[in-house]
Amino acid sequence: MENLVPDKPGNNEVLNALNEFRNNLLIFVNYNKTDTSIVQNILTEKGQDFKFGIRLVNRNGVIIGANRSFCSLFAKEEKEIIGESYNSVYDKNNSEDLEELLMLYDRNLLKPNIDYYFERFITTRDKSLFVDGINTFVNTDESSNDNNETLLLTLFRDVTKEKATIGETITSKTDIDPSKIAIISVDFFGKIISWNIGAEKIYGYSATEVAGKSISLLFSRDRKNEFKKIIQQLKDENNIDKYETTNKKKNGSIVQALYQISSIKNSKGILTGITIISYDITEQKRNEIKLRKNEEMYRTLIETSPDAIIMLDLNGKILMSNKQVAVTLGFENVEEIQEQNIFSFFTPRDKKRIFRDARIVIETGILRNLEYTIIRKNGEQIPIEISASLILDMFGKPDGIIGIMRDISERKKAEDALKNSELRFRSIWENSNDGMRLTNSEGNIVAVNKAYCSLIGIAEKDLVGRPYTLIYTQEECGDPIIRIENYRKKFVTRDIDTYRQTNYKYRRQDSVVLIESFSFIDLENGEPLLLGIYHDITEMKKNEEELKNAEKFAAIGKQAAILSHEIKTPLASIKMNIDMLYNKISMSENNQKSFQIVQKEIKRLESLLKNLLLYSRELNLVFHPVDIEKLVDNIQDLMKPVLKKQNITLFNYLTNLRVRGDFRNLQTVFLHLIENSIESMPDGGVIEIYSKSHEDISCSVLIKDNGCGISENTKIFDPFFTTKASGTGLGLTIAKNILKQHNAELTLISSRPGETIFEILFKNNNVE
């Protein structure tokens, strides 16, 4: 006999039960069809005891046969079922729509004795369960003409436990929490026929709420054809292992879902439904995005770092490095050194040391500022300084080493000159314009040069042999004992900043701004000394301040230009008449002095007006392609001491952004904005510079900081307006004017404590 039951475990049992039912005549049909008010259960006692639920309906959809298993399955009494419509056992969400089957049979589209398989989720009085079974049209006793009628016979089987077992099997094969795995079955038209506890937890709908509804309720409007796409793909494939999509919860929130889809086909190979195993991968996706962002940031930091950064496995094999590593080792590109062993580049003399120090890194987790000699590709030997840290895996075990290599050839040349040539050393020491000081491990001053004494304001005889802390005023020094103790600890570990900018008031009255650089000198007797070189930039800082003042006057000059005709004419008239009166009128000596004062002040006013007008001239711009990334890198290098001193990190995320403009004036713009950000973060923070492309090919550069924000931001581009204690109030005005002449715009798009963002919009005719 033909059947449309899918070939899968469990269904053979249903088919065998159906055949058993037919073969053993479990129904009788001598019921009264003329008086429909008299209805009795036409199942025999043997049918009543049958292990699966049995239901018989006539052509009107009235139940005329039901066994105990069926009644138990639907939590109904026999008297509540017999003679009632088949829909009476269901609530409004669980209708079977048998009218469609009966109509198809009447139109000869369905045939007797053909088995039609189904799966259904039902809700009874006190429970929810899954059932499957078979619908088949059977003829009653054909030999009895009076009673011959075609009935719809349905077998029901409770498969709730089987569904649970499938779910347990699936979840046991994965580390994912079972409550995060939804198992959903739908028919060919997308109607939900099964819904597990995982689906309830993920999507927020109970099984009762979704039973019989379309799977499309999980998809947003922009994915309304998602189910059709799945069905179309399953026509060519039995299963879909990975199908990522976006679902919608009951509360409207979004779920990133990963589907494993299996097709349900009948014996003819026709697709009748699908089973979806859905994993909530929302958190995983968030983590992937976060990881990708962190990796991009990490890669950008490494690639743009001026230092040689290298990552090794525990055996010294190079796993990753930036371009500067290849340059240090004498290679053209990174690919040439990939997979090589870093130890092979060390001189034989230093190999034993580096092996020993690598073990120290594994044991202690860190290595600081140790010097070695490496052999470059061309055979040249150069000194390097290495700092390294241990990388741990997720279990806290050593997994690799990341290190920073610095080519210290220039520094070593200076140190060697000091060690190997007393004459040269003395010449440099005595004649240098930079202050120099040697201190020992105890913090005592061993030697100083004249320039240092001049900077500090203390004679050499009062410095040598004394603790270096005596150079500071009491206010600047703090507790000298603590300061010396910290110095000694850092001296032993050689953990001393090699480069910094300071602004101290030493024993002399004025503050001195210095660039300080430090390096260790190992003397022949084995005693190390710390060499400090002090470059006075006080005058340069004063010049910078004067430049700011000049910018103020430039703005004043622009205002003066507007009023120039109004001022010049009366001023010239006053001058002419004063001169005439002075030359023609006889006056006392005191009156003459008064006239001379007036003439002198008029000349001074003319001179002042002339100087102010000079600042109102238009900029003389020379346009060339400008790489904004390199421009910001230059500023970052220039301001490295300030950034380091104020504990500020600047991230330059710009890549491949070139515009037409005047490099020097654009640098002024970015310098103003970065300086403003630095000043807004006295306690440290982060500056981020990144770009954003627009559809019209224009491009924006955004400068973001997490400083104090700008409270009165409506006037920030007005000349002479400033929210700072000092300053011209013209920095942003100048920046805006420079950008205006570049056909670009400067805008403040966010200003609140913790987030200030300026946007520079380069229009499409400026972007290269």
Cα dihedral value 266, 271, 277, 278, nearest 10 = -160
What the block records as the tokens of 33 is 């069809």
Options 3.40.50.720, 2.60.40.10, 3.40.50.300, 3.30.450.20; CATH for 412-536 is 3.30.450.20
Are the CB atoms for 672 and 731 separated by under 8 Å? yes
Tens digits of per-residue pLDDT, 469-522? 888 887 778 888 888 999 899 888 888 888 888 887 776 656 788 888 888 888
Least confident of 99-113, 394-408, 479-493, 742-756: 99-113
Assign domain 624-762 to a CATH class. Answer: alpha beta
- Residue 499 one-letter amino acid: Y
- The reported pLDDT for the residue numbered 651 is 93
pLDDT at 80 over 80: yes
CA neighbor of 245 nearest in space, from 280, 198, 275: 280
Are the CB atoms for 110 and 104 separated by under 8 Å? yes
The segment(s) of the chain belonging to CATH 1.10.287 are 541-614
Q: Which CATH superfamily is 3-157 part of?
A: PAS domain (3.30.450.20)
Q: Where are the alpha helices (DSSP H) in 448-531?
A: 450-456, 474-477, 480-493
pLDDT at 31 over 50: no
The segment(s) of the chain belonging to CATH 3.30.565.10 are 624-762
The segment(s) of the chain belonging to CATH 3.30.450.20 are 3-157, 162-280, 287-407, 412-536
- The reported pLDDT for the residue numbered 145 is 38
Q: CA-CA distances (angstroms) from residue 117 to 10, 131, 160, 226?
A: 12, 11, 17, 26
**The model scores a pTM over 0.85:** no
Strands 755-762 and 699-705, sheet pairing? antiparallel
Least confident of 10-24, 444-458, 663-677: 10-24
pLDDT at 544 over 80: no
Is 162-280 assigned to CATH 3.90.1170.50?
no
Say what percent of the chain tops pLDDT 70.
Answer: 79
Strands 435-439 and 445-448, sheet pairing? antiparallel
- The reported pLDDT for the residue numbered 98 is 80
Tens digits of per-residue pLDDT, 669-704? 898 899 889 988 988 999 999 998 887 778 899 999
Give 40 or 407, the one with higher predicted confidence: 407
Instruction: Provide the strand spans (E) within 281-396.
Output: 308-312, 318-321, 366-375, 381-392
pLDDT at 614 over 50: no
pLDDT bracket for residue 758 (50, 70, 90) = very high
Tens digits of per-residue pLDDT, 180-207? 688 888 887 888 888 888 889 999 998 8
Options 1.10.287, 2.40.30, 1.20.81, 3.40.50; CATH for 541-614 is 1.10.287
For residues 413-438, average pLDDT? 74
- The reported pLDDT for the residue numbered 34 is 47
Rounded Cα–Cα distance for residues 600 and 603 (Å): 5
287-407 maps to which CATH number? 3.30.450.20
Q: CA-CA distances (angstroms) from residue 363 to 397, 398, 578?
A: 11, 9, 90
Q: Where are the alpha helices (DSSP H) in 173-235?
A: 197-203, 207-210, 226-234
- The reported pLDDT for the residue numbered 730 is 57
Report which secondary-structure segment, H or E, holds 93. Answer: none
- The whole-chain average pLDDT of the chain stands at 79
Rounded Cα–Cα distance for residues 124 and 408 (Å): 82
